[in-house]
């Protein structure tokens, strides 16, 4: 039976990520710490809310780069503890360099959920729309997306890109917005990544249909 830890770890698990992808694994620990305080640790990004987490492996277990690991409730096969949620500036240089590609892979893997965002996104004021929070989407693209989805909901990123001419690759627009929300602390109208310290309320920030 895996040991359950009180305090910070229990609070952090309110994030409710089920799986995370390894951005960087340091079997000898963080070099910024004194040698006697070091322990094996990985920096990861969640596959549902893109939350950055520091996790430790079980004894005798290691992680591979870009490996997806279970970080949810109950028995975990490889992860011993979730130490804390990380801010972007706490990532190692390796983790930062891996993040854009891995975020795009997560977006592509969860295509149906993100396409549904294009189908369900709503106005945030009389003059502004959630879709305009995505990079490179102005009024022209916004009106075309709304027009096309009223005719028929989008079925895939390709369907969206084919029907909205001139729109940059839609999966990349999502990935860019996700990265912005991860990297910046002051972001109005978060779409995909919960605000730091407000993980327990993340369901109010997420606009995708989870199925």
**Rounded Cα gap, residues 104 and 199, in angstroms:** 22
Residue 8 has pLDDT above 70, yes or no: no
110-203 — its CATH code?
1.10.150.280
Identify the pLDDT of residue 42.
97
The count of residues in the chain is 211
Residue 109 has pLDDT above 70, yes or no: yes
Residue 24 has pLDDT above 70, yes or no: yes
In the chain, where does the domain assigned CATH 2.40.50.140 lie?
8-96
Mean pLDDT of the chain: 87
8-96 — its CATH code?
2.40.50.140
Identify the pLDDT of residue 14.
54
* Contact call for residues 173 and 134 (beta carbons, < 8 A): yes
In the chain, where does the domain assigned CATH 1.10.150.280 lie?
110-203
Alpha helices in 13-169 (DSSP H): 93-109, 111-120, 139-151, 157-163
Identify the pLDDT of residue 31.
83
* Contact call for residues 95 and 74 (beta carbons, < 8 A): no
Identify the pLDDT of residue 5.
40
* Contact call for residues 26 and 76 (beta carbons, < 8 A): no
Instruction: Read off the pLDDT of residues 158-210 as tens digits, 9 standing for 90 and up.
Output: 999 999 999 999 999 999 999 999 998 888 899 999 987 655 433 323 334 43
The DSSP-derived string for 102-132 is HHHHHHHHTHHHHHHHHHH--BSSSS-BGGG
pTM above 0.75, yes or no: yes
Over residues 90-113, the mean pLDDT reads 97
């Amino acid at each position: 039976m895996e040991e359950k830890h009180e305090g910070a770890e229990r609070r952090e698990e309110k994030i409710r990520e089920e799986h995370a992808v390894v951005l960087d694994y340091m079997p000898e620990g963080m070099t910024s710490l004194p040698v006697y305080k070091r322990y094996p640790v990985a920096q990861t990004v969640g596959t549902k809310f893109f939350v950055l987490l520091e996790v430790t492996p079980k004894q005798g277990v290691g992680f591979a780069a870009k490996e997806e690991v279970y970080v949810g409730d109950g028995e975990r096969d490889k992860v011993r503890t979730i130490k804390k949620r990380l801010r972007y500036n706490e990532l190692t240089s390796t983790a930062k360099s891996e993040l854009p590609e891995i975020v795009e892979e997560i977006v592509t893997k969860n295509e149906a959920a993100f396409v549904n965002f294009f189908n369900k996104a709503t106005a945030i004021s009389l003059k502004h729309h959630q879709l305009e929070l995505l990079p490179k989407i102005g009024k022209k693209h916004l009106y075309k997306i709304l027009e096309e989805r009223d005719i028929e909901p989008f079925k895939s990123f390709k369907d969206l890109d084919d029907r909205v001419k001139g729109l940059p690759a839609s999966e990349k627009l999502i990935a860019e917005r996700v990265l912005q929300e991860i990297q910046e602390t002051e972001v109005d109208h978060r779409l995909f990544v919960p605000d730091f310290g407000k993980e327990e309320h993340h369901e109010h920030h997420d606009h995708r249909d989870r199925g």
